[in-house]
Amino acid sequence: MINLSAFYDELASAPVVRQMADRGMHFFENKISANDCNYLRDRIDELAENDDVEVNYEGSEHRIWHAHKKAAAFAEFEKLSNSIMPRLYGRPSLAHNVLAIRNHKVPLTAERMTTRWHLDSFRKQLKLFAFLTDVTEKDGPLEVVPYTHTTSFKLRASIPMGYYRLRDIPKYLQGRRSWQSIHDDKVANLGHKGFMSKRITVPAGTLMLIDTSALHRASPCLDGERYAVTVYHR
């Protein structure tokens, strides 16, 4: 079984709460051990062969939903996240899904690259990420625009960024919104206003918290591979 006890010991509520409110992200100082990363990657490779796996981008991405129910090691991330999130939400918040994901080099014909930017929710949406391989510029790093998670930014940006449009009205019952697909050009224009995107390039074993109501996207994996675990809360 993997050992995540150091992350429980490291968590200091007040500093993390302040950083999450300010920047919308926090990186833990401790790292998942190399042995545990190897073990988790092997479990992902095994589970990726099952029929219930979501496969995207011409077979280069495998998404294993509810991984915590399929391998005990991933349930450890669920437990850790469940201990953290109530302190940040200020209320009980149990994880409803744990995603284990594997990305290999993606064919550039697999998807339009210009509309990957999105929000997961217009309200606060916190996630725990664990990166099981070194993430470089070419390995499909998570890309985030810091400070766009704040309520004030989202309210100001609703119309200029196209978060909400008239075409969203008939889609209300379908649960789709324009903020689920934002064009690169709009995000690039934010740079002129001081909102610069940040690529999360980190060593294997990095654990981070992030508010994914900020503008973010998974960059395409242009080379190598990327293995990660994500814990979802409502």
- Residue 211's H or E segment, with its range, is strand 206-211
How many domains is the chain partitioned into structurally? Answer: 1
- Rounded distance, CA 137 to CA 195, Å? 20
CB 210, CB 25: distance < 8 Å: yes
CB 213, CB 125: distance < 8 Å: yes
- Rounded distance, CA 169 to CA 176, Å? 9
What's residue 9's pLDDT?
78
CB 209, CB 125: distance < 8 Å: no
**Which residues face 25 on adjacent strands?**
210
Q: What is the pLDDT along the chain (234 residues), one digit of tens a residue?
A: 899 999 987 776 667 888 888 989 999 999 999 999 999 999 999 999 999 999 988 899 999 999 999 999 999 999 999 998 988 888 889 999 999 999 999 887 766 555 578 888 888 999 999 999 999 988 889 999 999 999 998 888 877 777 766 555 555 545 566 756 777 888 888 877 888 989 999 999 999 999 999 999 888 888 889 999 999 998
6 burial (CB, 10 Å; 0-12 / 13-18 / 19+) is middle
Least Cα distance to 182 among 141, 154, 222, 221 occurs for 154
What's residue 103's pLDDT?
94
DSSP 77-145: HHHHHHHHHHHHHSS-----EEEEEEEEPPPTTSS-GGG-BB-S-SS--EEEEEE-S---TTB--EEE-
Q: What are phi and psi of 82, to 5 degrees?
A: -65, -25
CATH of the domain at 133: 2.60.120.620
pTM: 0.89
**Which residues face 216 on adjacent strands?**
118, 144
The CA radius of gyration of the chain, in Å to the nearest whole number, is: 18
Length of the chain: 234
CB 117, CB 183: distance < 8 Å: yes
DSSP secondary-structure letter at 212? T
CB 228, CB 130: distance < 8 Å: yes
- Range of the structural domain that residue 29 is part of: 5-232
- Residue 225's H or E segment, with its range, is strand 225-232
111 burial (CB, 10 Å; 0-12 / 13-18 / 19+) is middle
